[in-house]
Amino acid sequence: MYLDRILGSATKINILYTLISNPKRSFFEKELAGESGCSLSEINRQIGGLVSANLVLFQKMAKVKIYRINESHFLFKPLLMLFRDLNVIYEEIAKKLVGFSTKKFNVACVILIGSLSRRAIKSDIVESPSDIDLIFVVKKDSDVKKLKDALIEYINSEISATYGISIYPIVVSEDYYKKGLINNSLIIQAQAEGKVLYGSKPRRFS
């Protein structure tokens, strides 16, 4: 299949990721090697096929080789979607979960913690994918189990099927969260470092 020739090695994938992530930029050969994490010799050995397919544009100025992605190529848009930053994809999932929960329940706030809040998602989605750590704070104790059950059902039916990752939502009441500000390490961390996606963080005294 022709895609074997385009994506047939880690070097080609790294080259394309670098170029597609910077579609308006032209790279000197050494710049491309440095930013893609590939050796100059591997760039020279493998980029020729991408140039022959016209997916990568090539020009030579004096003795300097310059490369740029061809935005007009039919593969550009599909590859752009394929090479999206995982942080952006995970943020998209988090927004869907926030939208689902706030439409159906009386949610006081949603707080993002962990690697996604630092935009430090692991690049490995096969062996050790990052988690999406979300704390949902509801106003009523009676809504805790209802929201958790609804979220798990939504995640299993919509999110896991589309994105192939597992999410374990944390749902607590506003009263529980406020009490946890004294000695619950997870809630203390969320209060200090968490990113608010909806509402505002409860305060112990308000």
Look up the CATH number of domain 2-82: 1.10.10.10
Digit-coded pLDDT (tens) for 129-150: 566 789 999 999 999 999 999 9
For the chain, percent of residues with pLDDT exceeding 70: 90
Q: Are 79 and 16 in contact (CB under 8 A)?
A: yes
Rg of the chain on CA atoms, in Å = 23
Q: What is the pLDDT of residue 15?
A: 95
Higher pLDDT, 80 or 168: 80
DSSP string, the chain: -HHHHHSSSHHHHHHHHHHHTSTT--EEHHHHHHHHT--HHHHHHHHHHHHHTTSEEEEEETTEEEEEE-TTSTTHHHHHHHT--HHHHHHHHHHHHHHHHHHHS-EEEEEEESGGGGT---S-SSSSPPP-EEEEEESSTTHHHHHHHHHHHHIIIIIHHHH------EEEEHHHHHHHHHH-HHHHHHHHHPEEEEE----S--
Of 5-19, 143-157, 159-173, give the lowest mean pLDDT range.
159-173
- What is the Cα 201 distance to its own chain's centre? 24
For residues 188 and 178, give the distance between their C-alpha atoms in angstroms, rounded to a whole number. 10
pLDDT given for residue 201 in this prediction: 93
Degrees (nearest 5) of the Cα angle 63, 68, 74?
A: 140
- pLDDT, tens digit (0-9, with 9 covering 90-100), for 104-128: 899 999 998 876 556 655 555 555 5
Domain ranges of the chain: 2-82, 86-199
Q: How confident is the model at residue 83 (pLDDT cuts 50, 70, 90)?
A: confident
Cα torsion angle, 185, 187, 189, 192, sign: negative
Predicted local distance difference test score (pLDDT) of residue 204? 75
Cα(11)–Cα(17) distance, rounded to whole angstroms?
10
85-105: pLDDT as tens digits: 777 888 888 999 999 999 989
Give the residues across from 58 on adjacent strands: 67
Nearest to 172 by CA among 149, 148, 192, 196: 148
86-199 folds as Beta Polymerase; domain 2 (3.30.460)
